[in-house]
Homo-oligomer: A and B are copies of this chain.
């Protein structure tokens, strides 16, 4: 009564085998699986028994070849180590699941070649659609997918206008919120610490920082420091360089483009060199990244709405899939939010509120 352990050479039992075992035709087996309403109760039962007995597993390749469709969407993540990308995946998963789609993840591990490999893999698999969260300009890959008629939604990276849908965070506002918080809490000598200028969000954040500083007027200075990279070690180097300065040359507020970098700086500044954070220098990070590594002073950071972005991406993708020709590419921009912790606490402002320019809902784009 046990499933005969057929040699798995070129595949286990097929639908035909099930049909034979159940004494029905191939088409009926297919109907049991795909259109149960069309099949009589008794027949269905016999077929299901046969499936069980034989240990039949339907062949998805044949299935999607014959039907020309496929229930998975492929998501390519530039860096799975980064919790922001995990949030994207999580949000996308939730949204995909509620529509019966399967979300397949692929990690490009910060390697464009791998990223392209995965795009092509999903392309060849004829997935229903794709999500891409890149770290570098991926125009070529996107164009290739679109040329093949594949739907793709970009996450956290603005597409070349009109080429595809995208979900972005208002990265300019990220920078703005960070700088504004420092200014509002009385800091006047700001520094923006960044690197990796080819990563779009990094550029955008800088614009926001500048906007906040400009808005604050003459009382606030901005210095820009190139960290040369975004790792903890780069942060250490920046921290050392800062700690070596005369006290009157030290910025009193740092906007750091990435949490990992920020934590590296704090470590060197606070723990190693004894420059007090936030007393002497306040630090704000820019992603609220859970994978930023441990820090002795909890980092105030601007939080990215990663989950919501992932969900929105699936929504856009679905719209594109169902609307077909009628679809118009859209770019959805979500707003970030400041999370205040110890490295740049809330505090009475140096200047009374009335004299500060009103906080705008968003910086101009």
B103-A90 in contact (CB<8A): no
| Complex Cα–Cα for A295 and B55 (A) | 50
User: Residue A112 at the B interface, CB < 8 A?
Assistant: no
**Most chain B C-beta atoms within 10 Å of own C-beta, residue among A9, A57, A61, A65:** A61
Determine whether the beta carbon of A90 is less than 8 Å from that of B97. Answer: no
B89 with A102: CB separation less than 8 A: no
A93 → B minimal CB distance (Å): 6
Whether B105 and A104, one on each chain, are in contact in the complex, defined by CB atoms closer than 8 angstroms, is yes
Given contacts A12-B149, A290-B293, A294-B295, contact A126 B60 (CB under 8 A): yes
Do A61 and B126 touch across chains, with their CB atoms under 8 A apart?
yes
In the assembled complex, A114 has its CB within 8 A of some CB on chain B: yes
Task: Check if A39 is an interface residue, CB within 8 A of chain B.
Answer: no
For chain A, residues 27 to 57, give those with C-beta under 8 angstroms from any C-beta of chain B: 55, 57
How many chain-A residues does the 8 Å CB contact rule pick out?
Answer: 57
Q: At the interface, yes or no: A8 with Cβ under 8 Å from chain B? A: yes
In the bound complex, how far is the Cα of B8 from the Cα of A63, in angstroms?
A: 18
Chain A 56-92, CB within 8 Å of chain B: the 1/0 string? 0111111111001010100000001101001001100
Whether A65 and B68, one on each chain, are in contact in the complex, defined by CB atoms closer than 8 angstroms, is no
Docked pose: A147 CA to B13 CA in angstroms? 12
A121 to B93, CA, bound (A): 15
Q: A83-B291, A114-B97, A291-B83 are in contact. Are A106 and B104 (CB under 8 A)?
A: yes
B55→A147 contact, CB < 8 A: yes
Docked-complex contact A102 and B80, CB < 8 angstroms:
no
Check if A341 is an interface residue, CB within 8 A of chain B: yes
Interface centre among A59, A60, A114, A290 (most CB of B within 10 A): A60
A105 neighbours in B (Cβ, 8 Å)? 80, 104-107
Query: With a CB–CB cut-off of 8 A, which chain B residues contact A148?
Result: 8, 12, 55, 57
Taking a contact as CB atoms closer than 8 A, the residue among B55, B93, B118 that contacts A102 in the complex is B118
Query: Separation in Å of the A10 CB from the closest CB of chain B?
Result: 5
Chain B: which residue is nearest A117 at the CB level? Answer: B102
- Give Cα A338 to B159, complex, Å: 45
- Tell me, in angstroms, the Cα distance from A3 to B65 when the chains sit together: 23
Closest B residue to A292 by beta carbon equals B290
A1 CB, nearest partner CB in chain B, Å: 14
Report if A298 contacts B (CB, 8 A): yes
Q: Considering the chains assembled together, what is the distance between the CA atoms of A55 and B149 in angstroms?
A: 10
Given contacts A126-B59, A291-B290, A294-B298, contact A89 B65 (CB under 8 A): no
Q: Which B-chain residue is minimally distant from A149 (CB atoms)?
A: B8
Answer whether residue A158 sits at the interface, using C-beta atoms and an 8 A cutoff.
no
Closest 9 CB pairs of A and B: A8-B149, A105-B105, A60-B124, A61-B65, A61-B64, A61-B61, A10-B68, A60-B125, A294-B298
User: 14 A–B contact pairs at CB < 8 A?
Assistant: A5-B149, A8-B149, A60-B121, A61-B63, A61-B64, A93-B107, A102-B106, A102-B117, A103-B106, A104-B104, A291-B291, A295-B298, A296-B296, A296-B298
